[in-house]
């Protein structure tokens, strides 16, 4: 007696002990290879576990990892230092700081902004310091004066 198999996803059907057995397809399971592997599993009949890191997607057919932005390597376990890449968007007057899976930009001292755009601080005219002595068009101070803004 010959059973009629209806395997899916290009799997081959074999009549084994009166049952259909789907083979030669990876990434699926079920009587007719109709069920995709659950996340974290791959291979024939979804028997192998994935080793992807940092929220990478595991390909159910071969277990290879598709890395999220900011990561690389076969298991996506290596953080990319975007500050060393020419593609970061930090302003000339900002410091690039690598963080896990990404980077951030911070304006350097004397500048303000969001890091991708920085402008010099405008402190305005400090005017005369208290207790200044005005003589001949020049302010003089009997002590040291430091302005900051």
pLDDT per residue, tens digit, the chain (149 aa), is 455 678 888 888 776 665 667 677 889 888 888 899 999 999 988 899 999 999 999 999 999 999 999 999 999 999 999 999 998 999 999 999 999 999 999 999 999 999 999 999 876 655 555 555 555 656 555 555 455 55
Q: Are 21 and 14 in contact (CB under 8 A)?
A: yes
Q: How far apart are CA 2 and CA 16, in angstroms?
A: 10
Q: Point out which residues pair with 107 in neighbouring strands.
A: 94
* List of E strands, 5-79: 12-16, 19-23, 28-29, 35-36, 41-42, 48-49, 57-58, 65-66, 71-72, 78-79
């Amino acid at each position: 007696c010959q059973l009629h198999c209806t395997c899916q996803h290009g799997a081959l059907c074999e009549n084994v002990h009166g049952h259909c057995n789907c083979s030669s397809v990876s990434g699926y399971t079920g009587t007719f290879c109709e069920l995709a592997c659950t996340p974290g599993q791959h291979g024939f009949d979804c028997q192998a576990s994935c080793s992807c890191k940092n929220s990478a997607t595991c390909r159910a057919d071969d277990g290879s990892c598709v890395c999220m932005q900011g990561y690389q390597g076969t298991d996506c376990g290596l953080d990319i230092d975007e500050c060393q890449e020419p593609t970061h968007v930090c302003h000339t007057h900002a410091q690039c700081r690598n963080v896990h899976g990404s980077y951030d930009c911070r304006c350097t001292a004397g500048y303000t902004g969001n890091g991708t755009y920085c402008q010099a601080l405008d402190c305005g005219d400090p005017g005369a310091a208290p207790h200044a002595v005005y003589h001949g068009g020049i302010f003089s101070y009997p002590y040291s004066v430091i302005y900051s803004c």
